[in-house]
Structure 1
Amino acid sequence: MSTPSSPAAPTVPPRFSVTQRRRAVLSSYLGSVIEFYDFMLYATAAAVVFNQVFFSDLDPVVGTVAAFGTLATGYLARPLGAVVFGHFGDRLGRRRMLVTSMVLMGVSSTLIGLLPTSEQVGSLAAVLLVTLRVLQGVAIGGEWGGAALMSAEHTATRRGLWASFTNAGAPTGVVLSTLVLGASATLVGEQAFVEWAWRIPFLLSIVLLALGLFVRLRVEETPVFTSADAAEPVAARRPPLVEVLRRHPRNLLLAVGIGFGSFVAQGTFTTFLVSYAVQAGFPRAVALNALTLSSVAAIGAIIGFSALSDRVGRRPVVLGGILATGAWCVAIFPLVDSGSTVALTTAVVVAHVLYAAWMGPSAALYPELFGTSSRYTGASLAYQLSGLGAGLAPVTFAALLATGAGTTAIVVTIVVVTLVSAASVLALRETARTGLAEPARPE
């Protein structure tokens, strides 16, 4: 004789704490700073150093392509990190996975600073470099989604503003990495920097890791996840990836469509353009200073545009950022080719400010597209699949230049992906007024 199944536990409304929200926002911001310091430190080093350190036996142009190729491997590993960390983050909680991702990134970056060069161990150096780069990619694949959820799920109002600090941590990490690299190069000179001083910024990752863990361990699990976990046992849920693919395939596809173009733009602005400017005759310090200034401007722009999206909606702000960025890309290379430091700086700063409207609100937008039981997986996977654009753009554009194609081909590529992103925004419903504790709206 069968027995009746136990009734589902009643849904308990989330209880939000101002103190925990502040800790969550600070934790997400610092975690993003640390993760992107490590990740973009590699990107910058790939643009200016790694072709000489790990690929010194290759032609300079080919060595640059190879260095950007190792950069791309990190982006290819990010979707794997999104699935793995997302699965356990949706099952066990956001907090545990965020601690794990931070440790993995910090340790991997520190080990990069200890790697032997190709002159010392030959091709083994490149193999070790790629391995650690893959681990970096897996770590950041789990970091962004968890950090965005940690802020978004700790607040009931002004979600765009509070979640935006996760994205604001990215340019902060870029600023920190370029400042440390620039200071290392300035203090010891060009030759010593290439020989050994480039390692210093990577070794400093262990200090940032200790700081980040101190803050992150003081944050409690999000009230939205705790409430959903009490209402539905883990054993009764579908695997998060299955849930995303069955219930939210359209949202996943549109989110990737929005983000891919933005990451192509990001990879162009933060990595490829530095290498292009150096090859065009600008001193390395000038190119890095322009990147630093533009990242500082992007921090405020991300927060400002995200706060605006709470008032007018995510779609108008993101669409405006897409169209403005695409239009500005047409002017970037002529400005750099002018040879003027002011023109170079203007090109990069304006590009980052416009880009901030495109991706700034995404820390709130992506979580709003998925239900609580699969939100970590859905938001992370959408963001990291989009992130392939940043990894593929520099190596693709460097290869185009190596084969004799001009910058017009690069601009056309950026404009095309921009139009795809704009179409994706127009096909997406507005999400700014959706409560994260509510059941996911059917597509």
Structure 2
Amino acid sequence: MNAVNKSDLEVGEQASPGMIRRVIASSTAGTALEWFDYFAYGTAAALVFNEVFFSNMPPALGTLAAFLTFAAGFMARPLGAIFFGHLGDKRGRRFTLIITMTVMGGSTGLIGLLPTYDLIGVAAPLLLLLLRLVQGFCLGGEWGGATTLVLEHAPADRRTRYQMFVQQGAPLGTLLSTGLFNLFGLLSDEAFLAWGWRIPFLLSFVLLAIGLYMRLGIAESPLFEKAARADRLAKLPFATLLKTSWGRVIAGFFMVQLSVSGFYVVTTFMTNYGTETLEMPRSLVLNAILVGTVVEMVMIMIYSWAGDRFGAPRVFMVAAFLAAACAFPVFALVDTRQPALVVLGIVIGIGLVTSPFGIVGVILGSFYTDATRYSGLAVTYNIGGLVGGFMPAVGVAMIGASGGSSWGIALLLTIIGVSSLTGCIVGQQLLRRAASHESAAEEGYTLAAS
């Protein structure tokens, strides 16, 4: 059996327009739920977990501990990517995505039921950490699977704009989680700490039921089904990925830094920086993130359209350059503490670092073969996410070391943009080299990004 093969199925050829729409809708809804769960944790870590689960520590150490539990979820994501990537490349995309949604949604709801440190002592943060690790493990398989499923259904000339809808799940999740925390943040501090912060987590049970209903109604990838019938699946997808595509995995790791590390700098870290270091009202920072999230959704659409029109890699490079160039101006605007300028700075920051999120999936999808695409997307994105998870904690430490100045974190954001630009350039070079090899026709690069 040849584990790495070129599929003779033209992507989207066997999928009806109605099924494509259902796949897009269910993948978007599922991804929105997964990211809602994840972003709710990030917001709570920035606002309340230091007082609820680490009340035995000084405030600064409690905040750092809360952010480290946030980062712990990212440490579990690569393991989840390997596990669910294997499952998705062996058992199917749809089957695997149902599992990731169910377990992650359940773990998030349980966070809303956890007793505090004052009630059960050290068991409280340990249980929080355990549920966070489950979250991260399941998210490791969600994004790669949802993106793969849509890419393998979509017509060749509309892959970027179709998979863009999946990427809209991230801002939708942010919008919902931040909006809920903003709403319940209107409560008194006592009520918010006592029960208000729990409501967004408990709502995950409701969202899980809706998401599962939608996801159970979709069809499996026609490309995967044909490969399975022909007995052309990789026996060990992860091992095959490392054997055939390790250079592109590394390039992809750097490429995704803007969408993961950069994102957590301008959202999760910025929430803490604005409220704790700059002592601005919580509502101001959260409202700015809400506006930035709406702008993010528009930017994702614009860049995705441009990706189909001008080529996804070319558009991604422009986006990464702009994000790197604007890092210092973004923090300069926030540092003014003037509400209008603070909102402007956060909106620009979110818009620039997230604008290429709508096209990163189709570029990474083109890096890998039909037999390893789920594993490739999941592993690349989540190894990159492992670094991103530590960005809020790194930001807090850098602000402390610089006496409250933002120049260090602004420099870090610039470096993140440059690394993403470099990763995209190197990845395209490696892909062209593989495609020019005389055996490339047998390796299954059916999603080449023009």
- Determine the C-alpha separation between the residues in 2 that align with 1:18 and 1:169: 21
Cα distance change, pair 145–375 in 1 and its aligned pair in 2 (3 A): same
What does residue range 149-188 of structure 1 map to in structure 2 within 5 Å? Answer: 149-157=148-156, 158-186=158-186, 188=187
- Determine the C-alpha separation between the residues in 2 that align with 1:9 and 1:333: 47
Contact 1:177–1:201 under 8 Å retained in 2 = yes
- Determine the C-alpha separation between the residues in 1 that align with 2:253 and 2:241: 13
**Alpha-carbon distance, 1:117 to partner:** 0.6
Partner AA of 2:14 in structure 1 = R
**Alpha-carbon distance, 1:438 to partner:** 8.3
- Determine the C-alpha separation between the residues in 1 that align with 2:214 and 2:377: 23
What does residue range 232-311 of structure 1 map to in structure 2 within 5 Å? Answer: 232-234=231-233, 237-279=234-276, 280-311=278-309
- Determine the C-alpha separation between the residues in 2 that align with 1:59 and 1:365: 45
What does residue range 25-424 of structure 1 map to in structure 2 within 5 Å? Answer: 25-157=24-156, 158-186=158-186, 188-234=187-233, 237-279=234-276, 280-405=278-403, 406-424=405-423
Q: Deviations over 1:19-74 (max 9, x none)?
A: 11000100111011100111000000100111111111211111111110000001
**Alpha-carbon distance, 1:333 to partner:** 2.0
- Determine the C-alpha separation between the residues in 1 that align with 2:306 and 2:160: 8
Q: Deviations over 1:171-199 (max 9, x none)?
A: 1100000111111121x322100111110
2:154 is paired with a residue whose SS is coil
**Alpha-carbon distance, 1:416 to partner:** 2.2
**Alpha-carbon distance, 1:161 to partner:** 0.5
2:372 is paired with a residue whose SS is helix
Contact 1:160–1:307 under 8 Å retained in 2 = yes
- Determine the C-alpha separation between the residues in 2 that align with 1:283 and 1:438: 58
1:386 is paired with a residue whose SS is helix
**Alpha-carbon distance, 1:10 to partner:** 9.7
Contact 2:399–2:409 under 8 Å retained in 1 = no
- Matched residues, number: 431
**Alpha-carbon distance, 1:397 to partner:** 1.1
Partner AA of 2:304 in structure 1 = S
Cα distance change, pair 238–57 in 1 and its aligned pair in 2 (3 A): same
1:429 is paired with a residue whose SS is helix
Cα distance change, pair 193–419 in 1 and its aligned pair in 2 (3 A): same
**Alpha-carbon distance, 1:356 to partner:** 2.9
Q: Deviations over 1:308-333 (max 9, x none)?
A: 11111111111111111111111122
Q: Deviations over 1:120-150 (max 9, x none)?
A: 1111111000000000001111100011011
Cα distance change, pair 134–211 in 1 and its aligned pair in 2 (3 A): same
Contact 2:41–2:70 under 8 Å retained in 1 = yes
1:248 is paired with a residue whose SS is helix
- Determine the C-alpha separation between the residues in 1 that align with 2:216 and 2:62: 41
Contact 2:254–2:420 under 8 Å retained in 1 = yes
Contact 1:326–1:418 under 8 Å retained in 2 = yes
Partner AA of 1:100 in structure 2 = I
**Alpha-carbon distance, 1:411 to partner:** 1.8
Partner AA of 2:444 in structure 1 = A
Instruction: Return 5+ residue gaps in structure 1 as ranges.
Output: 1-7
- Determine the C-alpha separation between the residues in 2 that align with 1:9 and 1:350: 42
Alignment partner, residue 4 of structure 1: none
Q: Deviations over 1:237-296 (max 9, x none)?
A: 330001110111111111111112432211111100011111212111111111111011
- Per mean C-alpha deviation after superposition, the further-off stretch among 89-98 and 306-315 is 306-315
Q: Deviations over 1:51-108 (max 9, x none)?
A: 1111112111111111100000011111111110000100010000000000011100
- Determine the C-alpha separation between the residues in 1 that align with 2:294 and 2:410: 25
Contact 1:9–1:232 under 8 Å retained in 2 = no
Partner AA of 2:168 in structure 1 = A
Cα distance change, pair 141–10 in 1 and its aligned pair in 2 (3 A): closer
Alignment partner, residue 444 of structure 2: 440
Contact 1:16–1:156 under 8 Å retained in 2 = no
Residue identity over aligned pairs, in percent, reads 34
Alignment partner, residue 5 of structure 1: none
**Alpha-carbon distance, 1:382 to partner:** 0.3
Q: Deviations over 1:374-410 (max 9, x none)?
A: 1100110001111123211101111222334532222
Alignment partner, residue 438 of structure 2: none
Return the TM-score normalized by structure 2.
0.91
Cα distance change, pair 421–233 in 1 and its aligned pair in 2 (3 A): closer
Alignment partner, residue 3 of structure 1: none
Instruction: Return 5+ residue gaps in structure 2 as ranges.
Output: 436-440
- Determine the C-alpha separation between the residues in 2 that align with 1:180 and 1:262: 23
- Determine the C-alpha separation between the residues in 2 that align with 1:393 and 1:383: 16
Contact 2:327–2:413 under 8 Å retained in 1 = yes
**Alpha-carbon distance, 1:362 to partner:** 1.2
- Determine the C-alpha separation between the residues in 2 that align with 1:201 and 1:381: 29
- Determine the C-alpha separation between the residues in 1 that align with 2:253 and 2:358: 15
- Determine the C-alpha separation between the residues in 1 that align with 2:185 and 2:194: 11
Contact 2:259–2:356 under 8 Å retained in 1 = yes
Partner AA of 2:237 in structure 1 = P
2:428 is paired with a residue whose SS is coil
RMSD between aligned alpha carbons? 2.3
1:127 is paired with a residue whose SS is helix
Contact 1:326–1:414 under 8 Å retained in 2 = yes
Return the TM-score normalized by structure 1.
0.93
